[in-house]
Amino acid sequence: MKKNQAAKEIIFYAKKLKELGFLAGFSGNISVRISEKSFLITPSSQDKSQIKISDLCETGLNGKIFSKNKPSSEWRLHAFVYENYPKAKAVIHTHPPFISVFSCSKVKINKPLLAEFEIMLKKLPKSGYFTPGSGDLAKAVKKACDSSQTVILSNHG
């Protein structure tokens, strides 16, 4: 996707997710792949409903930052998804309250809770707990993504 269009989509969805209550405070991050080797990602420590296109960070899959702003601390997670899933076009990491509570429980979802769940998700894996922003968390997400495009991060969201 072209950089300008990707930026507009990130801004649109950041505002929408904040409005829906899926992004509390400065939490969560969104990225869109803009080339084979780079992606745009929301900045660190900013309210996602207030960000502007100029706040977004172009980041290489290798971690090289091409923007003046600091990318989300979860950039490794996003890069790992893009490296391991070439068809992935975007990564959205939110903290909806109901999922955050579930992420802290020992409960696993082993069966569909709603008809839509079975049609849309098939599975909803939960990764182990790893330090936010770490390479270990990125690897845990990659493993969970082998069976689903949606992952719950234990004790995280």
Q: Tokens 């008809």 correspond to what residue?
A: 115
Phi, psi of 59 (to 5 degrees): -130, 140
Q: Tokens 């990130």 correspond to what residue?
A: 10
Structure tokens at 155: 């004790």
Query: Where a domain ends, among 96, 116, 134?
Result: 96
Give pTM, 2 decimals: 0.81
Residue-range definition of the domain harbouring residue 147: 104-157
Predicted local distance difference test score (pLDDT) of residue 41: 97
Predicted local distance difference test score (pLDDT) of residue 8: 97
Indicate if 49 and 67 belong to the same structural domain: yes
pLDDT digits (tens, 9 = 90+) for 13-61: 999 999 988 888 888 899 999 999 999 999 998 998 899 999 999 999 9
Indicate if 92 and 108 belong to the same structural domain: no
Q: DSSP string covering 2-33, please?
A: -HHHHHHHHHHHHHHHHHTT-S-TT--EEEEE
- What is the CATH number for 54? 3.40.225.10
Q: Is-contact 43 74, C-beta < 8 A?
A: no
Indicate if 118 and 84 belong to the same structural domain: no
Phi, psi of 90 (to 5 degrees): -155, 155
When divided into structural domains, the chain yields a total of 2
